[in-house]
Structure 1
Amino acid sequence: MNGTAPQPLLSVRDLRMHFPGRRARSAPVRAVDGVSFDVAAGETLGLVGESGCGKSTTGRMIVRLLEPTSGTIAYEGQDISRLSRRELRPVRKDLQMVFQDPHSSLNPRQTVARVIADPLLAHGSSESAARTRAAELMDLVGLIPEHMDRYPHEFSGGQAQRIGIARALALDPKLVVADEPVSALDVSVQAQIVNLMERLQKELGLAYLFIAHDLSVVKRVCDRVAVMYLGRVVEIGAKERVYAAPAHPYTQALLSAVPLPDPAAERTRERITLLGDPPSPAAPPPGCAFHPRCGRAQAVCRTEAPVLRAVATGERREVACHFPGAEPAASRMGG
């Protein structure tokens, strides 16, 4: 019996996206600055962090809506990061995306049938076959197929997101990048969409890259969690370990802001409040990017950038911190 680990469905290594500065000769904006992670077949990896940390940019590079500055994106062992549009065409069927705002991501001039059928038509399906498949997909995501000839504005936000999910599933993908798929929806509707995505994953064997800032939703749907700060992954590991014993001070601060279901525990627990705002990705600080806001920063943190390494021997969790796991100092981080 071969003891080697199976090849991941998706493998991202040292991925970077640097946008030109707004002015001539100004420093580039390092939106993503060396991200690495794997996604296994059928797995859900959550990608979390503050707004502007590079989560959505990472997701868009993976499906090649943005061209990476450098790094590799390997799908089933093939580097797709530099494929031409023609070479990428067969792979696009396996990599699809669900966007944050359901209405703005749907063409308002097209009927729902056409919105869902467009990917099929682009890959050679006939009009009749594409329409039949669109009706099947509407039923699969909990919509009435008889409403296929309506327009997106005639649907609620939750229904519109179901349409976006149906479109993403049209070509039978293996990996779906879900970019904040429930953040624009009401709380009650969020639960319905999360339930739908979980059911579809079980039925279709999907893998998800689930991009979100709501850590309670991530805890519900994800197998592993990757925490991003200023364009880099600072902690990654199994959901249970990251939530139970966060090792990076930034992860600790994020989790301390998640409300607890027990009111008594919520009143008595210590909340970590980070001082200051995240640095600009156009001028990141030297050393560890988090050190200006960190209560345990020491001299090495200001000069040497930490790399992801295992928290403990044998534990499949990595953290980019020179002093992982220590309690944050209340004098710097608040209480």
Structure 2
Amino acid sequence: MTATTGPKTGPDAGPLLAVRDLTMTFPGRRGRRRAAVRAVDGVSFDLAPGETLGLVGESGCGKSTTGRMIVRLLEPTAGSVVYAGRDISRLSQRALKPLRRELQMVFQDPHSSLNPHQTVARIVADPLLVQGVPAAEARERAAGLMELVGLVPEHLDRFPHAFSGGQAQRIGIARALATGPRLIVADEPVSALDVSVQAQIVGLLDRLRRELGLACLFIAHDLAVVKRVCDRVAVMYLGRIVEIGDKDRVYAAPAHPYTRALLSAVPLPDPAAERARERIVLAGDPPSPAAPPPGCTFHPRCPKAQDVCRREAPLLRVPVPGERREVACHFPETG
């Protein structure tokens, strides 16, 4: 079943983004016997206008690869990415260029994503210059964007090395907003920052999303951050979505054993509740995507696994009729 649960902006509003069976397989090395790696394996979800979807999971589960395919920094092996009713997954770079105004990305490491040899003015204005905006107008708009993200126009003629990590990420966000996008893919935008700075950047992204009406795919491994900024959450394991649905429902009563284990590791603000709760520790490490296990890929680590889990891969389905959530598990929690 396709993961299509989520709010709409009007009675007949369709999704802004529809991802269907998205797959990415990296070939093995030539000259050596090494199996191909299926980093993303049939991912499907919708994203409504103005909605934020959190994509979470352990490192290496395929989150960032999914985001890069959506904005066409990687070419999908199979599947489709339909943006505003148009399949962009096979468009030529020339045909894709006008749409890049509406699809932008914020990267994980703010300093490595900024050209150290360019001034901030050029970095922020560059997307506008590529789209044919005159240089003087592009600089003026860059100054306005600096103010929008909490910096000052006087910073425009500095180079990236002069900024802290949080300031550099604000510059990256300003660059992403330069062309007036409708959809932002934020790939671990706060994981490289100090904890004290993370809250500032998360607050900034949340404010900009609401003020500008942006749709956002928020990729992260920190479930506390995702809970703060997202409307829905999708949990990935070994290249597949295993649970997707309304944030409050997923956090309050996770249905997939993997989701339950992830949430049990999120610190609670109440010390007494933190001491009283049971931490779920999964056995072993995630299998290699080059040699995934048969059936449900989570079964080697799952405390509920039975014979059917070893034979058949579960499909995303609604565990309880009428619930705004889908789970890929043969024995989901329904309480």
Please name the residue that 1:77 is paired with.
85
Amino acid paired to 1:182 = V
Please name the residue that 1:13 is paired with.
20
Please name the residue that 1:293 is paired with.
301
TM-score, normalised by the number of residues in structure 2? 0.95
Residue 27 of structure 1 deviates from its aligned partner by: 2.0
RMSD of aligned C-alpha atoms?
Answer: 1.2
Distance 1:326 1:210 in 2: 27
For the 8 Å contact 2:125–2:142, the answer to whether it is kept is yes
Alignment partner of 1:229 out of 225, 231, 237: 237
Amino acid paired to 2:13 = P
The 5-angstrom pairing of residues 19-30 of structure 1 reads 19-23=26-30, 24=32, 26-30=34-38
Residue 4 of structure 1 deviates from its aligned partner by: 6.1
Give structure 1 regions of 4+ aligned residues with deviation exceeding 6 angstroms: none
Residue 26 of structure 1 deviates from its aligned partner by: 3.1
The 5-angstrom pairing of residues 110-149 of structure 1 reads 110-149=118-157
Amino acid paired to 1:173 = P
Higher mean C-alpha displacement, 61-70 vs 188-197: 188-197
CA offset digits 1:180-234 (Å, max 9, x no partner): 0011111111111111111111211101100000000000000000000000000
CA offset digits 1:71-122 (Å, max 9, x no partner): 0000011100000001111111100000000000000000000000110000
Asked if residue 195 in structure 1 is aligned to residue 203 in structure 2, the reply is yes
Amino acid paired to 1:6 = A
Structure 2, unaligned runs of 5 or more: 1-9
Amino acid paired to 2:120 = V
Q: Match of 1:14, SS?
A: strand
Distance 2:197 2:261 in 1: 28
Distance 1:26 1:158 in 2: 40
Alignment partner of 1:48 out of 26, 43, 56: 56
For the 8 Å contact 2:121–2:142, the answer to whether it is kept is yes
Q: Match of 1:56, SS?
A: helix
CA offset digits 1:229-249 (Å, max 9, x no partner): 000000000000000000000
Alignment partner of 1:103 out of 103, 111, 125: 111
Higher mean C-alpha displacement, 95-104 vs 24-33: 24-33
Amino acid paired to 1:202 = R
Amino acid paired to 1:77 = G
Structure 1, unaligned runs of 5 or more: 328-335
For the 8 Å contact 2:320–2:334, the answer to whether it is kept is no
Please name the residue that 1:330 is paired with.
none
Residue 294 of structure 1 deviates from its aligned partner by: 0.4
Q: Match of 1:200, SS?
A: helix
How has the CA–CA distance of structure 1 residues 9 and 87 changed in structure 2, closer, same or farther, with 3 Å as cutoff? same
Distance 1:300 1:246 in 2: 21
Distance 1:125 1:218 in 2: 35
The percentage of counterpart residues that share the same residue type is: 78
Q: What is the count of residue pairs matched by the alignment?
A: 325
Asked if residue 204 in structure 1 is aligned to residue 212 in structure 2, the reply is yes
The 5-angstrom pairing of residues 150-229 of structure 1 reads 150-229=158-237
Distance 1:219 1:326 in 2: 21
Amino acid paired to 2:24 = M
Alignment partner of 1:248 out of 256, 273, 276: 256
Please name the residue that 1:332 is paired with.
none
CA offset digits 1:246-284 (Å, max 9, x no partner): 000000000000011111111111110000000000000
Distance 1:263 1:141 in 2: 35
Q: Match of 1:309, SS?
A: coil
CA offset digits 1:106-147 (Å, max 9, x no partner): 000000000001100000011111111110100111101011
Distance 1:36 1:254 in 2: 21
Q: Match of 2:236, SS?
A: strand
